Amino acid sequence: HGRIHEWLVSKDITIHPERNCSLTMASNATQEAGYLETDPRSDAELWVPYVFNGWGPMPCDTSDHCNEGFGTDLGSHAMGFCCPRCSVNGQQAFTRVFLVATEAVTINIGSGYNDGIIVWVNSQQIVSDNYGCQCESEWHAQTYVSLVAGYNEVVVKSADAGSAGRWGFVLGVLSGTSVLHTELYLPTPLTEDWYLDTNYTTGAGIDASGYLVA
């Protein structure tokens, strides 16, 4: 189903104790804004590659996963090895990837999550579910999203309520995959004033050489 198997994960994995099934995420609008459409020159300060990038399913025993290991296991990422029930109650983190479209297209994005989740595409919130204690199976939510030609930023905020120790999500493109591929980073070089000229996701995009196009 066009599952996305590569992500960057925020270096900062925060813990907000005493989370529960009806309140899995701590809201922080300033923190959330800090992970949306960031200056790519700060990528190394904010993000690290997901430890199981490119694997689908994960290269370990997936019997304890609700999605047979095809999702993004943030509990195991935080530990640095396969451990699907090792997450800590209240952990939350951000993940990011770019959907690169050869043309403007409307796609259907499906998501499954354990526990709470917020999904933004080009800084527009498309999914928000703060209710936890569920399996990260396919698909809790499906949403149609319009993408621009070029780079489209997808950011996911995910949190664990601690009910079963699993923490993660699965995100897939259910339609429109023929004109898409994923990238972890914006291309380089970028113009020094790229952020002044235009917003890279809501403007006309970036051409093949990595420069903004008018």
pLDDT at res. 88? 79
Tell whether omega for the bond before 187 is within 30 degrees of 0, i.e. cis.
no
Residue-wise pLDDT for 53-80, tens only, equals 988 777 777 776 777 777 888 988 998 8
Residue 117 Cα distances to 18, 134, 155, 188, 198, angstroms: 17, 12, 10, 31, 29
Q: What is the DSSP letter of 152?
A: E
Amino acid at 104: A
Q: Which residue has the tokens 């949403």?
A: 143
Share of the chain above pLDDT 90, in %: 33
Residues in contact with 150: Cβ distance below 8 Å, sequence separation at least 6, in sequence order: 100, 101, 200, 204, 205, 206
Q: What is the DSSP letter of 191?
A: P
pLDDT at res. 26? 74
Q: How many CA atoms within 13 Å lie on the side-chain side of 23? A: 6
Q: Which residue has the tokens 């952990």?
A: 91
Which runs of consecutive H residues, i.e. helices, occur in 35-178? 43-46, 74-79
Residues in contact with 212: Cβ distance below 8 Å, sequence separation at least 6, in sequence order: 190, 191, 194, 197, 198, 200, 203, 204, 205, 206
Beta bridge partners of 105: 147
Residue-wise pLDDT for 3-42, tens only, equals 898 999 999 998 887 777 777 777 788 889 899 988 887 8
Q: Which residue has the tokens 């579910």?
A: 129
Q: Would you tell me how many other CB atoms lie within 10 Å of the CB of residue 28?
A: 13
pLDDT at res. 162? 67
Residue-wise pLDDT for 158-189, tens only, equals 988 765 578 889 899 998 888 899 999 887 65
31, containing H or E segment: helix 29-33
